[in-house]
Each structure stands twice: as structure tokens, then as C-alpha cells.
Structure 1
């Protein structure tokens, strides 16, 4: 079997572990040949190919990012994109495609599978918002980075009697924000799942600084918004390509706090630092497990399915069932974060 492999969407730690596992298991166990397409679906459309052998994957396990490169392009949204994908796969004699990506990339994978191409998906996203899997490649490392930042910010906040607003990634969900807030001991977390009331935030901070401490840490997901009818006037700022403008909501929140309370308030935006660096063992292991499971799925003749972690097991779920859905932070976890304020 000749297997094609791509990574799409945003990069994250653990991608190279998945690539390595597909190559080692596919080639070493079954004798399959593996090729990679550079820069996600863009590389498939353009026929930008590189071989993947044991030599190419040597020492990549601890390396962040993706050795194949990535791009945010979806073939079903490009004129002639699906036809170009099929033409490239036919020209390269590819029997099946392993697609590593988030919800957008996997949605595209499902559209490609509908054209008759054998596709196996592997979920990766630091946002942890892909449904039907407990977690995805990259999330654990991103939470570690965010938690370490909160830990470090605590010392300067306490030293200077400041309110520190820490913005983390999370356009539609607050998985990183909530987990980092709990693990880092932040006083408040603002997540997209629970629109916030700035009046309540103000009251909380005034009470805390009067009765308990002279500093506070607030972790804010980039997609957090005020509740309807809130006294804070804010509309999510979007960039040229529809992305949320980094630092917009945290700056607005910090401005409101400073204006209302007079407390010295500062902002730290973690941004893309959450995506980079060495993957934790958890992401290396998960990427490796998903890569092996993807090869096994192809060997069993499966297609249009995604590897998924359920408890201690890696299972297969239909890709079509995850398209257009978002896995939100459960109410129980939000309550835990609130209870520890």
C-alpha cells in the first residue's frame, strides 16, 4: 500500500510523533511506502511531495511543529480543489491518505473521502475542541505552557500588587484557559462557554483586594465575550482572514478593571508560544498511539474514520460525525474553576 500523509491547520507539539509512528509502523511492520505532502492540503493540490522513510523521521520525536509544514487551506473551498486532490493522488499512486488536523482539516478530509478516496483522520489541536475524542495531540503541552506562564506571573503580580490579565488561545472554547487557571491557581477565568459580567468581576476583585490579597490573576480565552446586556461594551475583533485579533479581549478587560477599580492592571498575551516548543511525553505518546492506530485502520480496510481517545482506549469514529461541531468545556469543569476563586 502507498500511503500519503499530511498535517493541516495550526502547528502543535506532537505532530512529528504521529508522522513518525505512521512511517515506522506502516513501513516497518507492513512494508507500505509512505510519502508526505508539504504544507497540508495545499501540498496535495499542488503535488508537493516528499518521501518519508526511517531516515527522514530519525530524531523527530522531541521536535515541535511539523516536519511536513502546514497551511490553512481546504480543498472543498477552492475551485477545482477536490479534483486537484484526486489528480495528485492518482499521479502519485496513493492508495490512502492519513490526515492529521483539527476540525477544519478533518472536515475537508471527510469531503475528500466522499469522493471515494480512502482517508483516516488523526485529531490535533491545542484548543482540544474536536468532538468524539477525550483529547487531541498538542493540548497537554499547550496547557503546560500556559500553566507555567500563570505560575511565573503570580510572583510579579504579588510583588507589585497588580491585577494580571493573561490571554490564552481558545476561539470557541476555553479548554486551555480553564485548565491553566485551575492548575495555576488563577482567581478568575473568562471562557467563551460562560459569557462574563464585568460588574461581577469588579465586585469580586474589590472584595478580594479588600479582604484577602492585593493582587489577582485572571486567565482569559481569546474568544471570551461579555454576557448579553453587560455593562461592558465589547465586540470581538476579527482580522483580515476572520481570525480573532490577539490581545483584543484581554486589553479590553484590563482597561475596564483599571477604570473601574483603580487597580494597577497589566496584560500578558501568550499567543503562539502555546503552539511551539518540545512536546510533553503525553503528546508524544498520544501522537504515537494515533499514528499506529491509523495504520491499523487502513490495514483493516477502514476509511472516513478518525482515531479517538476514549478513556484508556484508542477507537475509531466516523469523521462525518465531527464536522461542524465543537467540543465545549463541560459545566462541571467551569464550576470547579469558579469554586476555587
Structure 2
């Protein structure tokens, strides 16, 4: 019998005297079952897709829960799925080297939104080829002696995780996006911080708009969902909000601004989601998607709306594109708490052998759903309930055609 086995026997003998019997059922002291009920020795964790406030808080929670409570080692996988394809991109994470990161933005592991193991870009003799290297990823997890893998990412990363699970990889997902567009979770971490930043910028734009009697247009992120635009627009006192879910009538938004001017309001605030478009119009795309590479990049919707408003109202217009400041920097308290809850819950799923699932927030509770139900879908802003109706009740215009 080895040294470790002796320790377990000793531990069991120490527990036995504290057993309580009730109707033939033995009750173990707190912590005893968790010590004996799992065979997980090592968990890998990676962060995929765009950076996001709260990623480090998730990593910290995973490490503290796994190492300190369950005596499980954590292997950090660097630069997203690249770390499971390229050599020398892993390192041990401990409570010591993971300390002090709760409030730090970005991810200490690095990330990549171009590394898709099923469509991986490889350069051979100067030419780029697209290959399926997913089997190599599975083999890498085995060579690293990982008993489970936690993937922290958005819809793309979680879709990959779902396919890896179908191939036999023991995966658990954690939803991450400032866009708040992941299905089956009420909110994802990063969203609250992004909205807070956008709201603070709107507060600043108000004073300039009022001083110069201008229309200030602010474009925010969100891709094909308007959650950031709606939430920050309401919190920041916007007069017009344009979102992907409601293709807008450009004449209607001009009339809204002119009506305000006639009532003595000499400035207006317009929030535009990057995925907003006119009725029968097209998305504003900065860069097309690449096979095995990055997804298409949206941008220019704010400039487009601002130019039309200027040309058709005669009012001075300025456009601000908020860009990556929304996803960088320190996570707020709400996101730190949610990130911590998600990280601890992901470890608990692994302890309970519940693989192929994603942790999620339902009301005030942390639950989980199958990765397969999340993969490939997007959560849209409801247009006839919730925030949109609240905004319209207080006079915000979404460019709906009357």
C-alpha cells in the first residue's frame, strides 16, 4: 500500500467515529463526501474569443475551489485553443500565482479568436491550408493527463467545446461575452461592466451635446444583439436607440430629433449598436469572415446614421465609436461576483461528473444547461417586452416605422 493510500485509510478511520445513524442512513461530516466521491486529479482551463472583464475572476475562482477545497491541480492553457495545438503553451496555476487578479481585466492565460481546431489555419510551404486538428486536441488533453477541461468563452468557443465533448472530451463551459447574447443564461459576466462604461461615456457626451447644441451619436459593441445599446441607452438617457432586432426607419429618427428641437431641446443623444441597420438595409461590415480565422467585424453603423441625421436635419452631428474600451479594464463588482460564482460552479459540475454542460444564471441561482443547446444560437433583445417597451414608455425612439 502506497503512502497516499495509507493517508486515505487513516482519513477514513478518523471520519468513522463521527458518523451519525438515522433510520439506517449514515451521514458524513461536511467535506467527507467531497473528499471520497471523485477521482479528478487535474483540470485544464482555457479562455477563448475576445477578452472580457471578469475572465481572471473566473480563473481565480476555479483555482481556489479546485486546489484548496478539492485538492485538484489546475493546468492553465495559454492563448485559447492554440494552447492545445501548439507546444509549450501550458502552465500550472496555483492559489499563489493566481492571487491579485480578481480586479484585473483581460486574461492572464491569453486568448485567441482565430484558433478553431476543426478549421485550423496552417501554413505549409508558404501556403495557408485549413485542417481539422481536433483529434490532436483530444490527444493533447490526454498527454497533459487532464481529467476535465473548462472552456471559458462565447458562442464560438462554446460551440467548439460542444463538438469536442461529442468526441469524448470531458468538457464544462463557462459563458463569457460583453454582448450578453449567449442562450440560456440570464446574463453573462462582462456585460455589466461594458454597460457601465458605455453609460459613463454617454454622461460625458451629454454635456458636450448641450453646450454645442449638437446631436451626439455613440456606436457601441454587441454584434448581432442590441443588449449593450438598450441597457446603456436607458441608463445614459438616450433619445434614440438603434439595435439589430429593430431595423430602423431613418426618416423616423430624424423626425424624432426635429420634434425635440421644436420643443426647445437643442441637443439629442443617439446610441447605435454596431449591428443596427435600416429597414431593407445591410449590415455595416469592416472585414469579412475568414475560414478558419476571425469572424466578420462590424462597424460604421454610427457613422452611417450620423451622416444621414446631419444631412436631413441641418443639425451639427458628432459620432463617437466606443470600440474596445468597452471590453477592457477592471470588472465592476457585479461581474466579479458572477465570475466567481461561475468558476466555482464549473468545478462543482466536474466533481459531480456532469460534463458537456455550461453553467448559467437563472434568476438568482446558478444552474447548468447542455452545451449542445447553447452552441450556434444567439440570445436576442425582445422587442415587445422588457427593456424596449420600458424605453418606449419614456419616449425613447427605436426608429420603428409608425
Work out whether the TM-score is over 0.5: yes
- Give 1:188 deviation, angstroms: 0.7
User: Is the 2:275–2:283 Cα contact (8 Å) retained in structure 1?
Assistant: no
* Distance of 1:235 and 1:322 partners within structure 2: 24
Change (3 A) 1:337 1:21: same
1:26 correspondence with 2:66: yes
* Distance of 1:270 and 1:133 partners within structure 2: 26
User: Is the 1:188–1:337 Cα contact (8 Å) retained in structure 2?
Assistant: no
User: Is the 1:15–1:64 Cα contact (8 Å) retained in structure 2?
Assistant: yes
Larger Rg: 2
* Distance of 1:198 and 1:286 partners within structure 2: 38
1:303 correspondence with 2:347: no
Instruction: Name the counterpart of 1:88.
Output: 140
Instruction: Name the counterpart of 1:334.
Output: 388
Q: Any idea what the Cα deviations from partners look like across 1:76-112, whole Å, max 9, x if unmatched?
A: 2222321121121111111100000001100000001
Question: Which is further off, 24-33 or 44-53?
Answer: 44-53
- Give 1:117 deviation, angstroms: 0.9
Question: Which is further off, 84-93 or 58-67?
Answer: 84-93
Q: Look up the SS of the partner of 1:100 in the other structure.
A: strand
Out of 337, 346, 349, which is 1:294 matched to?
Answer: 346
Instruction: Name the counterpart of 2:374.
Output: 322
Q: Gaps (5+ residues) in structure 1? A: none
1:100 correspondence with 2:141: no
Change (3 A) 1:234 1:317: closer
Q: Any idea what the Cα deviations from partners look like across 1:284-320, whole Å, max 9, x if unmatched?
A: 1111000100111000011000000001100010010
Instruction: Name the counterpart of 2:258.
Output: 206
* Distance of 2:369 and 2:283 partners within structure 1: 36
Change (3 A) 1:119 1:235: closer
1:121 correspondence with 2:162: no
1:77 correspondence with 2:131: no
Q: Any idea what the Cα deviations from partners look like across 1:163-188, whole Å, max 9, x if unmatched?
A: 00000001100000000000011001
- Give 1:323 deviation, angstroms: 1.0
Out of 78, 92, 101, which is 1:51 matched to?
Answer: 92
Out of 145, 149, 162, which is 1:110 matched to?
Answer: 162
Out of 31, 39, 52, which is 1:12 matched to?
Answer: 52
Q: Any idea what the Cα deviations from partners look like across 1:105-133, whole Å, max 9, x if unmatched?
A: 00000001011111000001000000000
Q: Look up the SS of the partner of 1:10 in the other structure.
A: coil
1:35 correspondence with 2:75: yes
Instruction: Name the counterpart of 2:27.
Output: none
Task: Please report the TM-score for the alignment, with normalisation by the length of structure 1.
Answer: 0.96
* Distance of 1:164 and 1:250 partners within structure 2: 10
- Give 1:235 deviation, angstroms: 4.8
* Distance of 1:238 and 1:215 partners within structure 2: 29
Task: Please report the TM-score for the alignment, with normalisation by the length of structure 2.
Answer: 0.82
* Distance of 1:30 and 1:237 partners within structure 2: 47
Out of 244, 269, 272, which is 2:297 matched to?
Answer: 244
Q: Look up the SS of the partner of 1:335 in the other structure.
A: helix
* Distance of 2:247 and 2:282 partners within structure 1: 12
* Distance of 2:85 and 2:103 partners within structure 1: 29
